[in-house]
């Protein structure tokens, strides 16, 4: 329950690379993973230019990458620094 309480009380930072890359079909999951690794490595978030303004985190130590494909294929990978 402590895990659920964290997500109810704290708004998480969200980003995507689709606005920049478009539909990449089979490569989208790997490109999202690459973006997450680069954000962890350089400690810099990528804002989506047309989305509502978010509070950027001061430090990145965990990033959850969700990849959903055609036909119901889905995977989530949690990266930690």
Domain ranges of the chain: 15-80
Stated pTM of the model? 0.78
pLDDT band (50, 70, 90) for residue 74: confident
In this structure, the dihedral spanned by the alpha carbons of residues 55, 56, 60 and 64, taken in order and rounded to 10 degrees, is 70
| CA atoms of 47 and 25, how far apart (whole Å) | 22
pLDDT surpassing 80 at residue 40: yes
pLDDT band (50, 70, 90) for residue 4: low
pLDDT band (50, 70, 90) for residue 61: very high
| CA atoms of 43 and 64, how far apart (whole Å) | 15
């Amino acid at each position: 329950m402590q895990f659920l309480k964290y997500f109810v009380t704290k708004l998480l930072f969200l980003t995507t690379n689709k606005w920049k890359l478009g539909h990449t079909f089979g490569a989208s999951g790997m490109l999202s993973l690459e973006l997450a690794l680069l954000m962890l490595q350089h400690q810099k978030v990528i804002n989506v230019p047309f989305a509502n303004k978010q509070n950027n985190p001061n430090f990145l130590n965990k990033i959850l990458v969700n990849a959903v494909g055609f036909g119901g294929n889905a995977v989530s990978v949690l990266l930690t620094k």
